Structure 1
Amino acid sequence: MEHLHAQTAAGHQGPPPPGPTPLFRPLSGALGAETDAIDLSRPLDAATIEAVRTAFREHHLLVIRNQSLDKERMYRFAELFGPIESHMIRLADGSKWDAVHTITNLDAAGNPVAKPFISSNYFWHTDKSFLAEPSLLTMLHAVELPPNGGDTQFADMTKAYDALPDATKRRIDGLKSVQSLEFMRRYTGSAPPTEDDIAAAPPIAHPLVRTHPETGRKSLYIGMYSSHIEGMPEEDGRALLEELLAHATQDRFLYTHTWQLGDLVFWDNRCLLHRAVANFEMGKHRRVLMRIVVKGTVPS
């Protein structure tokens, strides 16, 4: 067994020196990685950009700690992943979100309210799955936080798909689920969409099992926009969608992010679900996150 041991005699080499320390380290939970070694207030060099892209492809969710970003710097960083998405969501005054906008629990006067204007954030979803080209990446930056709580949860749809029985995989492969903004508004008890909203984003069918364009791995593509299964009786389709969602959001597939001030968190909508958690005194404490979304491609 001598060949298993490092030798120190002349002509023999000891163990190789350790490689460079990875930029990102895995988070506790089913997915994600974090770093505190990047300053996004400055332009990134090519090697760092490539390391971020690689980590994003491998971990699906990244946390960059201790950032202080304005809208311009956040926009420029998000652009590294693709074109920036415009938004349909209307605010209480009827105006639409800017590309970089805020997600808050504040009213028009800046006071915290117990019931948020957008309640759908608290349901499992992948962003903009009701569009022909749904979102690739969503980015949030913590600007103001409650003293505790206000978490965000993420569920890994690739691991969830892998864990399905083979019989279920055979049953669902090739099926398409209809994604509908109008259905989501009813499902979550939100304000109904306007006629213009419906005209701009009519219901569309996407694969129930989506193949990631970069990794080639399969994942479930479900959530609050999933209305029914194309070609299946509505009641049966709804039952299947709810069964898959219950399976996919088990603790073993989840990561719960406990926010720290300055966190920049971004994730892959092609293979993750997410939801906000109302586990803080919403009517008492302010919670303000900056948000931007990168446009994706047609699911396949």
Structure 2
Amino acid sequence: MTPIANGVEVSEIDLLDDESCRELGRIVAHECVVVVRQSVPEQRLYDIQMLWGQPCMPIVNRYVLEKRLTGRHWRSAFMAMGQVASGLDKTGALPGMARVSFIKDKRGKATGLFPNGELDWHADQQAYHDSQRVIGLMSLWGSEKSRTSFLCTAPAYDALNHEDRSMVDEAVCVWRWDGGGMSPDIEKWHLEISRYNMVPHENMETKLVDSTVTGRKGMRFPSHCFSHFKGMTAEESQKFKAHLWNKIDRPEHIYHHDWHDGETVFMDQNITLHARPTNVTHGNRRTMTRMISYLDRLFPGEGPADHVLYDGARLSHDEFARLVDAQRLQEFAQSMAPA
């Protein structure tokens, strides 16, 4: 295990040995950013993360599979969800896994997530209070000359002075959809995917402080889709957010990974941000696999949350799904109304 900027690189590990892979999962849980340069097939990446915990998908996608969300008002979202899953047809149904790719199918439709443009700092399902989730991002082909950047907030949190630490420890983030500021150039159909991953409903809440399953503390920093900190005005919130970002966004906290095909970077999603400064454009062959899982098979009790924090309340998934559905139905009715 070799230190890199705010993370580690693991080498000479037998990725076909389950016990070695379980130990890798424990390292990922604590270190937050872990580079592995040894190549494995997509199926093995899936199997490795299944040793760690249950597969994870956006809660709205889960509600769709569970038939909590149905009706023609969801048609465009269903089509977008199906579109980004099409790139995995040859590998079979692998819950939690998707391609990240610009490559088009015969109808000219993208076969993966985030098909174009740059991606600013973000994490998976930032507005959803949940147990620690990790992503395995593996380069399949066409990845050379592209970069992904990773930023674990734990060192910045540890370095806070007493006054800042006290405020951070008490802060609650309130979220709202911002129209797609994380990826301003993304193809418009993809905004359905981004919205329901980032903020399925306005006024979702998370504590600013979060932690890994090993107890390492950091910040679930609201890089995008941020409304305000609870109890602060919008102006006060933006000022405090900028103050914190000045302490987080420093070279010593960021690892830049310049890709070669066959590599994997495992990254935490609770206290770690990532970005794609590479502008993926038409004709780019860069294709990645992205697998998301929990860690509850290594750390029992750390599986999916049974609730959503919303507007000061702790809602069951049934209650929250009804809210999301009602909002979608209202938007659909407005879109169908005569001008």
C-alpha contact (below 8 Å) 1:129/1:135 kept by paired residues: no
Counterpart of 1:154 in structure 2 is 150
- Between the aligned partners of 1:188 and 1:134, the Cα distance in structure 2 is 26
C-alpha contact (below 8 Å) 2:119/2:277 kept by paired residues: yes
Counterpart of 2:245 in structure 1 is 245
C-alpha contact (below 8 Å) 1:65/1:263 kept by paired residues: yes
C-alpha contact (below 8 Å) 2:132/2:212 kept by paired residues: no
- Between the aligned partners of 2:226 and 2:304, the Cα distance in structure 1 is 18
- Deviation, 1:276, is 1.0
Q: Could you say what the CA RMSD is over the residues aligned between the two structures, in angstroms?
A: 3.3
- Between the aligned partners of 1:58 and 1:187, the Cα distance in structure 2 is 26
Cα 1:101–1:286 change in 2 (3 A) is: same
Task: Report the secondary structure of 1:123's partner residue.
Answer: strand
C-alpha contact (below 8 Å) 2:147/2:258 kept by paired residues: yes
- Between the aligned partners of 2:220 and 2:18, the Cα distance in structure 1 is 34
Counterpart of 1:163 in structure 2 is 159
C-alpha contact (below 8 Å) 2:22/2:51 kept by paired residues: no
Counterpart of 2:51 in structure 1 is 80
C-alpha contact (below 8 Å) 2:128/2:205 kept by paired residues: no
State the one-letter code of the partner of 1:34.
V
Matches within 5 A, 1:82-101: 82-87=53-58, 94-96=80-82, 97-98=84-85, 99-101=96-98
Counterpart of 2:285 in structure 1 is 286
Cα 1:95–1:59 change in 2 (3 A) is: closer
Matches within 5 A, 1:1-300: 24-27=1-4, 29-39=5-15, 42=16, 44-46=17-19, 48-70=20-42, 72-87=43-58, 94-96=80-82, 97-98=84-85, 99-108=96-105, 117=115, 122-133=119-130, 136-148=133-145, 150-180=146-176, 182-183=177-178, 185-186=180-181, 188-189=183-184, 191=188, 193=192, 197=196, 201-203=200-202, 204-215=204-215, 217-222=216-221, 223-278=223-278, 282-283=281-282, 285-295=284-294, 297=304
- Between the aligned partners of 1:141 and 1:124, the Cα distance in structure 2 is 19
Q: TM-score, normalised by structure 2?
A: 0.66
- Deviation, 1:184, is 5.9
Task: Report the secondary structure of 2:134's partner residue.
Answer: strand
CA offset digits 1:31-88 (Å, max 9, x no partner)? 222214323xx3x243x13421332234222222231313x32221111221111245
CA offset digits 1:209-254 (Å, max 9, x no partner)? 2233322x32111122433211211122123223322321210111
Cα 1:184–1:266 change in 2 (3 A) is: farther
- Deviation, 1:258, is 1.4
C-alpha contact (below 8 Å) 2:11/2:38 kept by paired residues: no
- Between the aligned partners of 2:10 and 2:160, the Cα distance in structure 1 is 29
Structure 1: which 5+ runs fail to align? 1-23
Structure (1 or 2) with the greater helix fraction: 2
Q: TM-score, normalised by structure 1?
A: 0.74
- Between the aligned partners of 1:158 and 1:184, the Cα distance in structure 2 is 29
- Deviation, 1:159, is 0.4
State the one-letter code of the partner of 2:238.
R
Counterpart of 1:15 in structure 2 is none
CA offset digits 1:106-130 (Å, max 9, x no partner)? 3445799xxx6465x6111121122
| Greater Rg over alpha carbons, structure | 1
State the one-letter code of the partner of 2:200.
A
Identity %: 18
- Between the aligned partners of 1:239 and 1:233, the Cα distance in structure 2 is 10
State the one-letter code of the partner of 2:178.
F
Structure 2: which 5+ runs fail to align? 62-75, 86-95, 295-302, 310-339
State the one-letter code of the partner of 1:140.
L
- Between the aligned partners of 1:184 and 1:247, the Cα distance in structure 2 is 27
Cα 1:79–1:226 change in 2 (3 A) is: farther
- Report how many aligned residue pairs link the two structures: 261
Cα 1:49–1:129 change in 2 (3 A) is: same
- Deviation, 1:263, is 0.6
